[in-house]
Amino acid sequence: MKNRIVKGIAGTFILISLLLSIYINQNWLWFTVFVGANLLQSSITKWCLMEDILTKLGVKD
């Protein structure tokens, strides 16, 4: 369950940042880079901050 939520949040953040970069300012692409870098880091280290946040919010696996 948590894994699906993390993927949904990451996908939403990427789409929102792309829309913001098109309609507001292209510097919002740095947020897309940040999300992508966090996904890459998570795949290498097997640790995800968003999963920790969801655990503290009471979301079950």
- Condensed to tens digits (0 to 9), the pLDDT of residues 24-56 reads 999 999 999 999 999 999 999 999 999 999 999
* pTM for this prediction: 0.85
- Tokens for 45? 């280290």
pLDDT of 33 reads 97
Q: What residues does each domain of the chain span?
A: 2-56
pLDDT of 61 reads 83
CB neighbour list of residue 25: distance below 8 Å, 6 or more residues apart: none
Contact 52, 38 (CB under 8 A): no
Q: Is the dihedral of CA 42, 53, 3, 46 positive or negative?
A: positive
pLDDT of 55 reads 94
pLDDT of 22 reads 97
How crowded is residue 17: how many other Cβ atoms within 10 Å of its Cβ?
Answer: 20
